[in-house]
Amino acid sequence: MYTIHLQAQETLQHNMPTLQDIAKQISSLAQLNLQRKPTRAIDTGNLLRTVASYNTPQRMVNEIKTSDTYSFEIELDYAPPGAEYGRYVNDGTYKMAARPFADNAINDPTVLAMLDDYYSDVVDKLVIGNLAKELDKMEAEY
Query: Is residue 128 exposed (0-12), middle (13-18) or buried (19+ Cβ within 10 Å)?
Result: exposed
Q: Is residue 42 within 8 Å of residue 34, measured between CB atoms?
A: yes
What is the reported pLDDT for 88? 95
Written as one letter, the residue type at 129 is G
Number of helices (H) and strands (E), helices first, in the chain?
Answer: 6, 3
Domain boundaries, the chain: 5-141
Instruction: Report CA-CA distances (Å) from 105 to 8, 24, 25, 39, 47.
Output: 25, 11, 8, 11, 15
pLDDT at 22: 95
pLDDT value, residue 15: 60
What pLDDT is recorded for position 140? Answer: 75
Q: Return the pLDDT at 141.
A: 75
Positions in the chain short of pLDDT 50: 1-14
* pTM of the full structure: 0.75
